[in-house]
Chains A and B, each alone.
Chain A
Amino acid sequence: MGMTNIKSVSRNTWLTLCASLAGIILLFVIEENFDRFTMQIFKLCAINVILALSLNLINGFTGLFSLGHAGFMGIGAYTCALLAMTPAQKEANFILQPIVPWLLDVHLPFLPALLASGLVAGLLGWLLGVVAMRLRDDYLAIATLGFSEIIRVVLTNAQPITNGSLGLKGLPRYTTMWWAWGSAIVVTVFLVLLIKSSYGRAFKSIRDNEIASEAMGINVFGMKVLSFAISSFLAGIAGGLLAHYLTTIDPKQFFFLKTFDILLIVVLGGVGSITGSIIAAIAVTASMELLRFLDGPLNFGFMVTSGTPGLRMVFFSALLMIVVIFRQQGLMGTSEFSWDALARIGLLPRRKRSHRSNGKTGKERVE
């Protein structure tokens, strides 16, 4: 806000810089000290942060219920994998039918391959958005779900390009801690800036009242397509990271239920909150691992159950239901983290209020 005084800006800037530094040190410490299994979880957290943020952009900030994310992830994963694999790796994978010649010799470093996976997914999102954004509410949801499934079926059948249901194996393990978290941070910053910009306001106005937004001169259809394309772009990036994290991909991984996993994170965190999505992505990913014991044999002291695979997911789906029914705003509602908000609840020393109080209610911007 324009009236924030200079002193508090510098305090917040300092806090942000310190927090960033602490984050980098933390990443470094994790990288040095933890075993590979724990590191894998940390990386998955970062990928899920990107996925949750991208789904939140379209569902939370633009108010369009899209269920197509799994498909766009799939596009990103395959694009990145096919561009980054060596010709020898490709030949080893395509045993049923050789790969199309024009793809065989393409071999890019990870960064361009990753950007390309975002661009291909974003472009496809833009094209499908032009079709889908003519629909609304549940029709939009079901049509985007349809796109996701069509993409999966095409991935399964386009044997000479995707290797069909066999999938791709032995991808280079490019997704390091730095790549994963670096991407997550870049995406977060991008999204914060986007939401704070005039475009972000336009997106939110569509969510709040489409007709009024249109009457204010906003090209609602164009903005919806834009939001959908950006969201698909980010899903593509996450897919690329995921491919080189798992090192094995096949079309089944991008079944539309995958979108529901991300939706779970977004709803738990708060539909329309960047902070909420980040916290929930980390919390859900970590607890999925921590609660892995639920799937194994359980010892209640008086009795021991044999392993019940799936109990973990029962827990999460039940949690989703409880949140939807009893606390629809999730963890954060539409609120965001800010140093000022921390100060207000007493976790930081309060600064003197020299500027005019403008009666902000629970809603804060990311500083």
Chain B
Amino acid sequence: MDLQTFLQQFVNALSLGSLYALIAIGYTMVYGILRLINFAHGDIFMIGGYLAFYGVSIFVMPWWLSVCLAIVLTTAFGVVLERAAYRPLRDSPRISIMISAIGASFLIENLAIVLFDARPKAFPVPDLFGANYVIEGVHIAAVSLIIPVVTAVLLAILLWIVHRTRTGMAMRAVSTDVDAARLMAIDVDRIVSITFAIGSALAAIGGIMWALKYPRLEPLMGIMPGMKCFIAAVVGGIGSIAGAVLGGLLLGLIELMTIAFLPELTGYKDAFAFILLIVVLLVKPTGLLGKNQGEKV
């Protein structure tokens, strides 16, 4: 492979990986706090895409307004979802809450099929994102450059919240030990809601950027990216924000580079993430940057 192809794939991988990273952060934050795989996270991502689409197409809003509104509404949706489907089960066995997450995901997908229609919709891409540049023979879509930048900015804001604010401190406390945090007069319910809000906002942004990159909306579009981003979070070390970013970038790189080097494996693309997951779980179950947690006897 020549340098040009490599660079081309690298740019693609960087943009896909940043997108994965953005969504993986939502998984990792929710898991860190509730020890819950939020199966519906991928569907929240889908809702973000659809809301932005309806804002532009039906309500004829300017795209930036539509995007902002979609993010706000999706965030609210994530918070409501946690209240309705997860909070009542917080003290139930982990299997129950996981079934609830699967059920919620199932319900959102089916509702989406009814409300949004199962037929794919074309997402209107604003000119700003649709532009294409050719630098030294490497084709770069504007959106591929914008995605890593947006991810980096959001990551910086998020890290600032988690490490520099009182809310962030409370979040870290809850994720270390819920009961101790409660004893320290931390309002756990509020922290969980904030976590879902942040995660859902990131998923909405991720969903919109996904739609800009692959301008096709479908009710089940969140499933595969959702699974892959969860895997990215596990690979990086679930509960760790840096881990989620690392896992997302790594997954994007592996997916695109493997295909670039070994085109005959293209058909197996969707299996890479799962194979990576199983290997990581067996070799280092805590993920690349995860902390060890043993069961106390």
Which of A132, A135, A142, A317 is the one whose CB lies under 8 Å from B110? A317
A139 to B103, Cβ gap below 8 A?
no
A156 to B37, Cβ gap below 8 A?
no
B107 to A321, Cβ gap below 8 A?
yes
With a CB–CB cut-off of 8 A, which chain A residues contact B161? none
B170-178, B254-262, B274-282: which lies at the interface: B274-282
B111 to A314, Cβ gap below 8 A?
yes
* 15 contacting pairs across A/B (C-beta < 8 A): A138-B36, A142-B37, A145-B274, A146-B274, A146-B275, A146-B277, A150-B271, A153-B268, A153-B271, A308-B114, A314-B114, A317-B107, A317-B109, A321-B103, A324-B100
Q: Which residue of A has the minimal Cβ distance to B88? A: A325
- Distance in Å: Cβ of B153 to nearest Cβ of chain A: 30
A65 to B98, Cβ gap below 8 A?
yes
Indicate if A134 sits at the interface (CB-CB under 8 A). yes
A131-B282, A143-B277 known; A267-B114 Cβ under 8 A: no
Q: Which 8 A-B pairs have the closest CB atoms?
A: A146-B274, A310-B113, A317-B107, A153-B271, A157-B267, A313-B110, A317-B106, A320-B103
- Distance in Å: Cβ of B268 to nearest Cβ of chain A: 6
Which residues A296-335 have CB closer than 8 A to chain B?
308-311, 313-314, 316-318, 320-321, 324-325, 328
Indicate if B53 sits at the interface (CB-CB under 8 A). no
Encode contact with A along B274-297: 1 for CB under 8 Å, 0 otherwise. Answer: 110110011001000000000001
Indicate if A211 sits at the interface (CB-CB under 8 A). yes
With a CB–CB cut-off of 8 A, which chain B residues contact A139? 234, 281, 285
Encode contact with A along B69-93: 1 for CB under 8 Å, 0 otherwise. Answer: 0000000000000000100110010
Complex Cα gap A280–B99 (Å): 17
Indicate if B102 sits at the interface (CB-CB under 8 A). yes
Indicate if B196 sits at the interface (CB-CB under 8 A). no
Q: Which residue of B has the minimal Cβ distance to A309? A: B118
With a CB–CB cut-off of 8 A, which chain A residues contact B277? 142-143, 146
With a CB–CB cut-off of 8 A, which chain B residues contact A156? 267
Q: Which of A134, A139, A314 has the most CB of B within 10 A?
A: A314
Indicate if A149 sits at the interface (CB-CB under 8 A). yes
Which of B37, B85, B95 is the one whose CB lies under 8 Å from A321? B85
- Distance in Å: Cβ of A66 to nearest Cβ of chain B: 11
Q: Which residue of B has the minimal Cβ distance to A153? A: B271
A150 to B103, Cβ gap below 8 A?
no
Indicate if A141 sits at the interface (CB-CB under 8 A). yes
Indicate if B104 sits at the interface (CB-CB under 8 A). yes
Q: Which residue of B has the minimal Cβ distance to A294? A: B114
With a CB–CB cut-off of 8 A, which chain A residues contact B96? 324, 328
Complex Cα gap A316–B114 (Å): 13
Which of B37, B89, B107 is the one whose CB lies under 8 Å from A141? B37
A149-B271, A263-B99 known; A310-B281 Cβ under 8 A: no
A150-B275, A309-B118 known; A324-B107 Cβ under 8 A: no
A146-B277, A324-B100, A325-B100 known; A137-B94 Cβ under 8 A: yes
B110 to A314, Cβ gap below 8 A?
yes
With a CB–CB cut-off of 8 A, which chain A residues contact B234? 139, 142
Complex Cα gap A267–B114 (Å): 24
With a CB–CB cut-off of 8 A, which chain B residues contact A147? 274, 278
- Distance in Å: Cβ of B68 to nearest Cβ of chain A: 29
B275 to A310, Cβ gap below 8 A?
no
Residues of A in contact, count (CB < 8 Å): 43
With a CB–CB cut-off of 8 A, which chain B residues contact A337? none
With a CB–CB cut-off of 8 A, which chain B residues contact A211? 297
Indicate if A260 sits at the interface (CB-CB under 8 A). yes
Which of B94, B106, B267, B281 is the one whose CB lies under 8 Å from A143? B281
Indicate if A154 sits at the interface (CB-CB under 8 A). yes
Which residues A48-64 have CB closer than 8 A to chain B?
59, 63
Additional A-B contact list (5), CB under 8 Å, known A135-B281, A143-B281, A320-B106: A134-B282, A138-B35, A257-B223, A320-B107, A325-B88
A135 to B285, Cβ gap below 8 A?
yes
Indicate if B187 sits at the interface (CB-CB under 8 A). no
Q: Which residue of B has the minimal Cβ distance to A271? A: B95
A153-B267, A153-B268, A153-B271 known; A325-B110 Cβ under 8 A: no
Indicate if B189 sits at the interface (CB-CB under 8 A). no
Q: Which residue of B has the minimal Cβ distance to A323? A: B103
A138-B37, A141-B37, A153-B270 known; A321-B100 Cβ under 8 A: yes
Which residues B96-153 have CB closer than 8 A to chain A?
96, 98-100, 102-104, 106-107, 109-111, 113-114, 118
Which of A154, A264, A308, A328 is the one whose CB lies under 8 Å from B271? A154
Which of A65, A143, A310, A316 is the one whose CB lies under 8 Å from B278? A143
A260 to B107, Cβ gap below 8 A?
no
With a CB–CB cut-off of 8 A, which chain A residues contact B267? 153, 156-157
- Distance in Å: Cβ of B39 to nearest Cβ of chain A: 9
With a CB–CB cut-off of 8 A, which chain A residues contact B88? 325
A142-B234, A149-B271, A311-B114 known; A260-B106 Cβ under 8 A: yes
Encode contact with A along B223-238: 1 for CB under 8 Å, 0 otherwise. Answer: 1000100110010000
Complex Cα gap A267–B92 (Å): 15
A149 to B270, Cβ gap below 8 A?
yes
- Distance in Å: Cβ of B80 to nearest Cβ of chain A: 13
B118 to A263, Cβ gap below 8 A?
no
A138-B94, A314-B107 known; A157-B268 Cβ under 8 A: yes
Complex Cα gap A147–B274 (Å): 7
With a CB–CB cut-off of 8 A, which chain A residues contact B118? 309-310
- Distance in Å: Cβ of B41 to nearest Cβ of chain A: 13
